[in-house]
A and B are shown apart, each in its own frame.
Chain A
């Protein structure tokens, strides 16, 4: 029941907003997202990680087709739900000092998005997975289109079409798999039992992989991402980068590796190489960016490239690292995009050369930005290190040469992040930054929890690793047959 509640609550919340007016809209939205987070924490408190199906809810939906509304939580799902429900209140809070037109629709869409995202992470039925997957696209589509900046229309269209093309491939794959199940069922256990010839597995693999790869995005399927992130309103960018892209990585772990293991093994080399190219490629491009938000967009491509490579190492370290890094990347990237938002809010620009000297004007902001930056460059005792170390170790176990290339992210990440910090925060103030004011209460309320999570999960990640460990071993049990 708990799992069902986690899905329903944000949806009911979104509907409840329609009777609200003025400021109470965003406050209610915030309150509902907080309650959802509290529920996720509640689920975590009594969680037994070794049990892979907890708080299960199952209801036949279209029995003739073997479709059921089946949701539950395992450690990996719960981790993703924790991420989603932790970030959503922060994303809502980040809008408190800003004006967004038509707040009713805006916050309703954010909550609907949360519902769909949670749905993606908890569902045990492929058909339901597909529904939630597509459902998540609708709110973000409107948020991009209606609250986006310059060129919102063509950019959103491209993003929409691109990701839809991927979804279509996924749909074909799901239907094909369904047809192969002995009992004609969309249940994930039924998919696990499907045995396909290696060649067929490869076909299915690529169809599913491309759908996920577009969402993540993995090089070279990434070209929708920088412009979409850049054009979007900050909450839109946060939803996309912080949570939505994790749908793709999560998809790899839950719906790809266990379903077509042979297809994964046969094609892992291609994926790992693409991901590695993506790391170096995106880092090199990030280094020459002059626009802070674009730089963050490319740095995100580099980070998720490493996560993808780690998943395809098929090692316990790689999968653990991927789980930890999904969490870390989500938290850090939301923090960083909020930093970009704060910079833009005060300076009216993303051009780093027009900034500088902010550190002396805004010590709170400078310190919190620095902590998030440390997480992003994976300094030990921050969340980024745990994930990055495990991922690189996993990749190393797959191929030592590739690990050396992936490891370049240690150097290149420091180059572009320190460069951006120097250009925006250090030196003397500029015309745009001379009146820079320090963080407001609400802004601190977003960035301080993020900073705390960065350090807390970096210092003591063990409970989180323990949480996903059984899920990781379960996924690997399919690969290691």
Chain B
């Protein structure tokens, strides 16, 4: 058996063991099985990765079994091992393993410990299908599967109605995107007669730019991406998804699942390169989402909500980069973002753990001393996301911004504004949480403690990755080697052309860093030195931000309510007052007409059988008279 097959199977086995027998196992065995399954998958990934590189980096397909028959073709359940999928597999199993380890500590007192690990394993299984599938239908299977696991995990504490609502909302909003996705697959299938990556992309070479079918496919796939990767107009589920346990937010709603839309576009970039209109839409949707989410993040007071809106905003930034054809930079930022955002979420989890469940940053403050390790790793995360050198976010963000400027200065302005806001709200979050005096209750103060090592070890590892992940994108010229950087050369994606001069690039870079540092200092001045606390009552434009642009309210009024009204109207008026009475009128009419049906009304089945027999006789007679 090919080792690549084992990679998704191991988490599946973990799911089955913990799901079926976890109740009878001790917590330590549950944690061991859950984490061990992912560690095993990670090790397999590394082995496959190494043999892939040493074997000349040739993409291979590993077939599991024949799955479906579509049209004239048999679609197999197969996995595709290439540069892109290997990067994603490493991310999913690597960061996934760290978060499993973290969960051992974080979820330790939960009565449904085994269920949690079972779900988490199932999620990793589906996420691996998503990134490993060799055709769009296996990808879609993973895509839907992670959505379902996300539903399970957001609503993990299912006794709270709000959490259930959040889970349901996430699933349904994702399904709206999925309708786009699946229609995109239909267009693709009728155009190419295949859903296989290699076949579709090979055929696409014959298409010229602006082909309407390709335009349709790419727009529909992008609609799918807006659902999963929380872009306008479908992003409102992601902040609500913070109802799930914090490791879930870190794994699913920051590092892996929400990047699926980006993976989809990078995977299909040969198609997207043929559709400039779609690319333009992607860039602007990303830009508006990035800015909108960043402005909301500035006024949030829930530690996880700030990070959630930050995720939406960062994903928006990546979509701008995708829209300008900077696929490598997008993947680069996807990776570094996974490191520092998982780190920040896990750090937030550690804070919440220490604060006995409190999430409001107005009631925190001064946690620096009580949580030294959490504090230092959180700072690293903040610097990384703010784009301040030498940490990873600086490199990836700088690369994206340069490509965006290369394509459209207008987009660059939006992206830079978002970056500045990012640095501001992250340091606002940091200072309110860790600096100055403690603002919580005495009970909480008494209870403050650093988290156990199962939680802090993943923090440290992620902090190292967040700090040094930038090396993936260091220009190789610095070392006197060839062009590009490691990630670029490895992935070999067909990026759009880049023709900025070195001077412009350096100028942009310095500008971005200056902006980030200025935002940091501004946050420091307001929240550390002046010790300002976010106001209870907001005015002016802040109302718009606090109200999250009232998108939920608009959807409620424009879509949900009218549809419920429609349902009720159809049920009460059409169903019960039009269709049914018409049917009944026919019935009554015939009953009045004759004895035949009256017999039936009395439930006289003897008569009924007689009817059949009589019919037969009738035919017999007719036959004798007319046809003999």
Contacts and interface: CB of A to CB of B under 8 A. Distances in A.
A158 B584 contact: yes
Given A157-B600, A287-B563, A381-B145, A175 B570 contact: no
Given A400-B186, A418-B171, A461-B68, A131 B141 contact: no
A422 B70 contact: no
Contact of B66 (A141, A408, A462, A469): A462
Interface residues of B, number: 66
Interface stretch (B154-162, B270-278, B421-429, B430-438): B154-162
Contacts of B620: 62, 64-65
Given A317-B71, A403-B186, A426 B159 contact: yes
Interface in B348-363: none
Given A281-B570, A396-B186, A462-B66, A419 B600 contact: no
Interface in B122-181: 137, 140-141, 144-145, 148, 151, 155, 158-161, 164-165, 168, 171-172, 175-176, 178-179
Interface stretch (B28-36, B409-417, B509-517, B601-609): B601-609
Interface in B563-600: 563-564, 566-568, 570-571, 574-575, 579-580, 583-584, 586-587, 590, 597, 600
14 contacts: A156-B603, A157-B600, A165-B586, A171-B615, A184-B627, A380-B137, A381-B141, A390-B68, A393-B186, A400-B183, A400-B187, A410-B179, A426-B159, A462-B74
A157 B601 contact: yes
Contacts of A465: 68-69
A410 B175 contact: yes
Given A161-B600, A220-B579, A403-B186, A138 B175 contact: no
Contact of B563 (A281, A284, A403): A284
Given A184-B627, A462-B68, 16 more contacts: A161-B590, A164-B600, A220-B579, A281-B574, A286-B567, A288-B568, A288-B571, A379-B145, A389-B182, A393-B70, A407-B182, A414-B171, A418-B171, A418-B172, A465-B68, A469-B69
B145 A380 contact: yes
Interface string B177-213: 0110011001101100000000000000000000000
A378 to B, nearest CB: 9
Nearest to B566: A284
B558 interface: no
Interface in A389-403: 389-390, 392-393, 396-397, 400, 403
A392 B182 contact: yes
B498 interface: no
Given A157-B601, A379-B145, A162 B183 contact: no
Contacts of B141: 380-381
Interface string B223-265: 0000000000000000000000000000000000000000000
Contact of B164 (A138, A153, A171, A422): A422
A264 B489 CA distance: 57
A359 B160 CA distance: 13
B612 A411 contact: no
Chain A binding surface, main DSSP class:
helix
Interface in A315-332: 316-317, 320
A386 interface: yes
Listed from nearest, the 7 A-B pairs whose CB atoms lie closest are A380-B141, A288-B567, A284-B567, A396-B186, A426-B158, A223-B580, A285-B571
Interface of B: 65-72, 74, 137, 140-141, 144-145, 148, 151, 155, 158-161, 164-165, 168, 171-172, 175-176, 178-179, 182-183, 186-187, 189-190, 563-564, 566-568, 570-571, 574-575, 579-580, 583-584, 586-587, 590, 597, 600-601, 603, 605, 608-609, 612, 615-616, 619-620, 623, 627
A385 B616 CA distance: 44
A216 to B, nearest CB: 15
A427 interface: yes
A461 B141 CA distance: 14
| A contact residues, range | 35 or more
A48 interface: no
Contact of B178 (A145, A390, A393, A410): A410
A466 interface: yes
Contacts of A396: 183, 186, 190
Given A381-B145, A426-B159, A428-B159, A316 B171 contact: no
B178 to A, nearest CB: 6
A447 interface: no
Nearest to A423: B164
Contact of A462 (B67, B137, B171): B67
Nearest to A393: B186
Given A158-B584, A462-B69, A469-B69, A403 B183 contact: yes
Contacts of A285: 567, 570-571, 575
Given A158-B587, A223-B579, A426-B164, A287 B601 contact: no
A83 interface: no
Contact of B183 (A142, A287, A316, A407): A407
Contacts of A153: 603
A470 B187 CA distance: 26
A1 interface: no
A138 B604 CA distance: 11
Contact of A460 (B67, B69, B187): B67
A207 interface: no
Interface string A19-57: 000000000000000000000000000000000000000
Given A157-B600, A357-B159, A461-B68, A410 B182 contact: yes
A162 B183 CA distance: 37
A162 B608 contact: no
A430 interface: no
Contacts of B144: 379-380, 385
Interface string A170-187: 010001000100001000
Contact of B583 (A160, A223, A415): A223
A354 interface: no
A134 interface: yes
A287 B567 contact: yes
A452 interface: no
